[in-house]
A = this chain, B = another copy of it.
Amino acid sequence: MPRGSGKVNLVDVARQAGVSLATASRVLNGSTRSVGADLRERVRQAAANLDYSPSAPAQAMARGGTDVVGLVVPDISDPYFSTIAASVVRHAEPHGLIITLASTERRFEREAEYVASLRSQQARGVVLVGSRTTNDEQLEALRAELDAYTAAGGRAAAIGQHILPADTVIVENRSGARALAEELVNLGYRRFAVLAGPADLLTARDRLAGFREGLRQHGIEVADRDVINGEFTRDGGYEAASELLERDRAPECVFAVNDVMAVGALSAFRDRGVRLPDELAVAGFDDIASLRDVWPSLTTVRIPLERLGEEALGFLLDEPAERSRTRRFSGEVVVRASTPPVS
């Protein structure tokens, strides 16, 4: 058992190996400069003996940077974000990147704080996940912080919206929702309602707009009063769905702009005694894996969540580009039991 507990540093290693500090350092970080095989071995031995663990902060200082990448998500317990997080973490590891996690609990003003913290930590990059409020002072604060961060040499990537000074991975919400709408019309539905998420989230807005576009192709409109806003969460879906049922005329099909809301809506309908899926069809968006077992299984738009993190990291690792780059992913409509063909 090595008893060098606690305070072993490179100096100790060098001394034990009988070489200079510089040589020890060169051996241990496999630098470009070559070191004789004998010394090399002596240093390796000494390091192992002493159970040497290099000080990451010291390395960060000397090297002028770290291998930390900050990941900021609105809510890590939401399966949509945790899937993306998993993807980021998985692809970070082979590059030796360390992921630092921040979950803002959907309080977007904290994003700027986290970016500031990342700058202070000399983090290599940041991945910002999630749609956010449209133009306002919060957004401005975040932009300013992001600019300061990149000016200081940090790299930034965003997943989910293209309003930030950063390389961006986006999902084609609009066309996905449009395709879904058309599919639903093909299945025979004519009267729709939409559980639309927060009015100020771009993602929610795009999906609603796309859905309406798709319907319009077939001469169908969704009246504003059949569009109900709610939180982008399971409970938000439940509440919006409950509200919908209070209305006089019921739709044939409800489109919830994400799966999490859709699943909440399912429960709301069931709790109110609606027979699913025959009496009322439901569709979602995202195709969240852990939600695939609900019944009736959700018709939805699959987006390649696992790829999102990978691409974002790719941006961070690439050479910085002149202007922000964009990578788009399109969705794919998946029809399941929640929207049976209208007989």
Instruction: Using CB atoms and an 8 Å cutoff, list the residues of chain A in contact with chain B.
Output: 2, 5-7, 51, 53-58, 60-61, 66, 68, 71, 75-79, 82-83, 85-86, 89-90, 98-103, 105, 116-117, 119-122, 148, 151-153, 234, 260, 263-264, 266-267, 270, 289-295, 297
Q: A168 CA to B290 CA in the complex, in Å?
A: 28
A sample of 15 inter-chain contacts (CB < 8 A) reads A5-B152, A53-B120, A53-B152, A55-B122, A56-B121, A57-B57, A76-B76, A76-B89, A89-B102, A99-B101, A234-B290, A234-B293, A263-B293, A270-B295, A290-B290
Q: Which B residues lie within 8 Å of A292 (CB)?
A: 234, 267
Q: In the complex, are the beta carbons of A89 and B101 less than 8 A apart? A: yes
**From A121, A264, A291, residue with most partner B Cβ within 10 Å:** A121
Q: A105 CA to B68 CA in the complex, in Å?
A: 20
Q: A103 CA to B68 CA in the complex, in Å?
A: 15
Q: In the complex, are the beta carbons of A76 and B71 less than 8 A apart? A: no
Q: Name A100's contact: one of B60, B75, B100, B122 (CB within 8 Å).
A: B100
Q: Which B residues lie within 8 Å of A152 (CB)?
A: 5-7, 53
Q: Which B residues lie within 8 Å of A56 (CB)?
A: 57, 120-122
Q: A168 CA to B30 CA in the complex, in Å?
A: 39
Q: Which 10 A-B pairs have the closest CB atoms?
A: A57-B60, A77-B86, A5-B151, A82-B82, A101-B101, A56-B121, A295-B295, A57-B57, A263-B293, A267-B293
Nearest Cβ on chain B to A239's Cβ, whole angstroms: 14
Q: A57 CA to B61 CA in the complex, in Å?
A: 6
Known interface pairs A152-B6, A294-B293. Does A101 touch B122 (Cβ–Cβ under 8 Å)?
no
Nearest Cβ on chain B to A51's Cβ, whole angstroms: 6
Q: Which B residues lie within 8 Å of A68 (CB)?
A: 100
Nearest Cβ on chain B to A84's Cβ, whole angstroms: 9
Which B-chain residue is minimally distant from A105 (CB atoms)? Answer: B90
Known interface pairs A116-B53, A119-B53. Does A102 touch B99 (Cβ–Cβ under 8 Å)?
yes
Nearest Cβ on chain B to A156's Cβ, whole angstroms: 15
Q: In the complex, are the beta carbons of B101 and A85 less than 8 A apart? A: yes
Nearest Cβ on chain B to A343's Cβ, whole angstroms: 21
Q: In the complex, are the beta carbons of A100 and B98 less than 8 A apart? A: yes
Which B-chain residue is minimally distant from A56 (CB atoms)? Answer: B121
